[in-house]
């Protein structure tokens, strides 16, 4: 098992004018299948380094070295060697005839980094390629949702707001989407299409004399989409099942939809697959039980593409305490890989109260290095929206030889216990996790960013959730859809910001 290492892995773009956070820097080099330095005594020439993709001279910063890594498909790690005559490094097969100590401003691109060595001290700094390449400058589409309580005909938000790569609201497009809540969406990069489907649409609201009232409406199977450079519009693809309050996760070649609820079948266990053109229902793989209000995210780990489906609400109206992990097979469909328990938010919780729903989840590398998934907020049986944030360490989860807990609780969303949220979305800004909108006694317009480099009063829980002191969304909303897309995907489209 790879030992946990604190390294430089998530870097602020140079255009943002920010330096590397010190807590993300790590001094050392990758040694996987690398030849040792030239033997200057016997003049034995090293062989080619199988792990090294190429070396680049005259690189002055780790930002530039990171950009060079992004330009190479095979590159996953990179090391910048600085001028330091006292350093004791191990990788010099690319500069035969020179001592490692003479290396200066050389960027080495690596395929892997399972073995890490710190003996070069301050003379070399290593980082890992981003989950989302810096050069793509991702944007987040904030689509539709509910903006107010259900006591007027103006309860739905029909705008699409665009957040830039640092999490700021870049523009807002009015009347771009239909009235719906509890829909789900995703971006299929191989087909250059972003899609949103399903949800619930209120048809009528009537109030009784007791002010309790009842709500009528429709469960939808229709979709809206945008293709690269075009306009946001109704889609020709419709889902097999009408469903609301379900989750989607995108892989390289497909988007998968999990569970949900409709008025003629109740909770659903069915999984559907979108190939860029149409939806089909998987015939051999279903959820372990019918459920809605789940959260799903995908991750590429150990050369396998996996999808994690967290929690939910069961057909017995219990909160689900299970994580289902699916693996994408050779045919591009899903097979169940394993099931795993959610953590209890309180130490005195019984297993039945570990369940939760409506949480946010996103793939996330702690300190830019260790693969995992961040899970935030949600709702549970014990009461109200949750204020907790958890990180699932995939290295520990898939290591059968360890008894270490895979879940680690990090700093609460808010210092005040009652300021959690649910029905929010997770995205990234400056390559840090960003929590957007949601519900907490009102439809939130705020965003919260996790800063790993600041410490809370509780040193056992790393990181601090920070706001920027002003409204991030131009309108508060919950039960909306958030989709992350590359900046160039929107160029020329009707969702591009001027």
Q: Could you give the CA distance from residue 10 to residue 32 in angstroms, rounded to a whole number?
A: 22
Whether residues 368 and 326 fall in one domain: yes
Domain count, the chain: 2
Across the chain, which distance is largest between two alpha carbons, in Å? Answer: 96
Whether residues 23 and 121 fall in one domain: yes
Report the pLDDT value the prediction gives residue 56, as an integer from 0 to 100: 92
Report the pLDDT value the prediction gives residue 316, as an integer from 0 to 100: 93
Report the pLDDT value the prediction gives residue 7, as an integer from 0 to 100: 30
Report the pLDDT value the prediction gives residue 269, as an integer from 0 to 100: 98
Residue at 483 is within a domain: yes
Whether residues 146 and 262 fall in one domain: yes
Whether residues 287 and 431 fall in one domain: yes
Q: End of a domain among 74, 97, 128?
A: 128
Domain ranges, residue 228: 134-490
Cα–Cα distances in Å, from 136 out to 71, 118, 145, 168, 355? 11, 32, 27, 16, 37
Q: Could you give the CA distance from residue 194 to residue 441 in angstroms, rounded to a whole number?
A: 31
Whether residues 210 and 243 fall in one domain: yes
Bridge partners of 358, per DSSP, are none
Other CB atoms within a 10 A radius of the CB of residue 480 amount to 32
Report the pLDDT value the prediction gives residue 38, as an integer from 0 to 100: 63
Other CB atoms within a 10 A radius of the CB of residue 498 amount to 4
Whether residues 86 and 155 fall in one domain: no
Whether residues 484 and 347 fall in one domain: yes
Residue indicated by tokens 């490692």:
100
Whether residues 86 and 183 fall in one domain: no
> Three-state DSSP class for 250?
strand
Q: Report phi then psi at 488, rounded to 5.
A: -70, -15
Residue at 9 is within a domain: no
Residue at 2 is within a domain: no
Residue at 374 is within a domain: yes
Whether residues 150 and 116 fall in one domain: no
Residue at 496 is within a domain: no
The alpha carbon dihedral of 98, 104, 109, 110 has a sign of positive
Cα–Cα distances in Å, from 476 out to 349, 407, 416, 438, 442? 33, 31, 20, 8, 8
Show the tokens assigned to 273.
């697959």
289: domain CATH number?
A: 2.120.10.80
Residue at 497 is within a domain: no
Q: End of a domain among 94, 128, 162?
A: 128
Q: Could you give the CA distance from residue 229 to residue 206 in angstroms, rounded to a whole number?
A: 42
> What spatial distance separates the first Cα and last Cα of the chain, rounded to whole Å?
48
**What residues contact residue 2 under an 8 Å CB cut-off, 6+ apart?**
114, 370, 395
Closest CA to 4 of 254, 413, 455, 365: 365
Residue indicated by tokens 């989302």:
132
Residue at 6 is within a domain: no
With 0-12 / 13-18 / 19 or more C-beta atoms within 10 angstroms meaning exposed / middle / buried, residue 154 is exposed
Other CB atoms within a 10 A radius of the CB of residue 351 amount to 10
Report the pLDDT value the prediction gives residue 392, as an integer from 0 to 100: 96
Residue indicated by tokens 């945008």:
226
Whether residues 186 and 210 fall in one domain: yes
Whether residues 43 and 175 fall in one domain: no
* Rounded to 5°, angle at Cα 399 from 455 and 301: 75
Closest CA to 363 of 276, 294, 298, 270: 298
Report the pLDDT value the prediction gives residue 2, as an integer from 0 to 100: 32
Residue at 5 is within a domain: no
Q: Report phi then psi at 234, rounded to 5.
A: -65, 140
Report the pLDDT value the prediction gives residue 447, as an integer from 0 to 100: 93
For the chain, residues with pLDDT lower than 50 are 1-18, 95-97, 205-215
**What residues contact residue 37 under an 8 Å CB cut-off, 6+ apart?**
46, 89, 90, 91, 92, 99, 100
Whether residues 242 and 174 fall in one domain: yes
Q: End of a domain among 108, 128, 148?
A: 128
* Strand 407-410 versus strand 425-429 pairing type: unpaired
């Amino acid at each position: 098992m790879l030992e946990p290492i604190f390294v430089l892995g998530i870097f602020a773009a140079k255009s943002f004018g920010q330096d590397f956070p010190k807590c993300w820097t790590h001094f050392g080099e990758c040694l996987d299948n690398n030849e040792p330095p030239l033997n200057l005594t016997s003049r034995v020439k090293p062989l080619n380094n199988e792990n090294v993709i190429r070396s680049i001279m005259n690189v002055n910063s780790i930002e530039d070295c990171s950009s060079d890594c992004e330009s190479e498909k095979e590159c996953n790690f990179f090391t910048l060697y600085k001028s330091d005559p006292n350093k004791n490094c191990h990788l010099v097969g690319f500069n035969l005839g020179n001592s490692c100590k003479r290396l200066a401003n050389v960027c080495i691109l690596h395929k892997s980094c399972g073995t890490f060595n710190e003996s070069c001290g301050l003379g070399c700094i290593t980082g890992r390629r981003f989950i989302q390449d810096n050069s793509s400058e991702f944007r987040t589409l904030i689509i539709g949702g509910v903006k107010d309580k259900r006591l007027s005909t103006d309860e739905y938000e029909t705008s699409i707001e665009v957040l830039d790569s640092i999490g700021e609201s870049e523009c807002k497009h009015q009347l771009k989407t239909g009235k719906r809540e509890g829909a789900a969406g995703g971006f299929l990069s191989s087909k250059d299409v972003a899609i949103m489907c399903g949800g619930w649409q209120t048809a009528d609201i009537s109030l009784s004399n007791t002010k309790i009232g009842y709500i009528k409406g429709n469960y939808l199977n229709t979709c809206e989409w945008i293709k690269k450079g075009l306009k946001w519009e109704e889609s020709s693809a419709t889902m097999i099942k009408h469903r609301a309050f379900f989750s989607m996760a995108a892989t390289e070649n497909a988007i998968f939809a999990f569970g949900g609820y409709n008025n003629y079948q109740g909770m659903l266990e069915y999984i559907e697959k979108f190939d860029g053109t149409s939806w089909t229902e998987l015939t051999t793989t279903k959820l372990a039980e019918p459920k809605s209000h789940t959260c799903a995210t995908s991750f590429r780990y150990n050369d396998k593409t996996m999808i994690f489906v967290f929690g939910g609400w069961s057909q017995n109206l219990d909160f689900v305490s299970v994580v289902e992990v699916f693996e994408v097979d050779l045919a591009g469909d899903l097979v169940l890989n394993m099931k795993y328990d959610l953590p209890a938010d309180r130490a005195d919780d019984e297993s039945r109260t570990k369940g939760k729903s409506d949480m946010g989840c996103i793939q996330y590398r702690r300190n830019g290095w260790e693969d995992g998934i961040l899970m935030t907020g949600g709702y549970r049986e014990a009461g109200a929206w949750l204020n907790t944030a958890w990180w699932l360490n995939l290295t520990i989860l898939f290591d059968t030889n360890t008894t270490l807990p895979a879940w680690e609780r990090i700093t609460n969303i808010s210092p005040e216990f009652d300021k959690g949220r649910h029905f929010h979305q997770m995205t990234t800004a400056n390559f840090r996790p960003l929590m957007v909108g949601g519900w907490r006694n009102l439809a939130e317009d705020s965003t919260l960013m996790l800063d790993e480099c600041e410490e809370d009063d509780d040193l056992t829980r790393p990181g601090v959730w920070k706001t920027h002191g002003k409204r991030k969304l131009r309108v508060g909303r919950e039960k909306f859809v958030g989709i992350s897309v590359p900046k160039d995907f929107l160029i020329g489209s009707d969702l591009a910001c001027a």
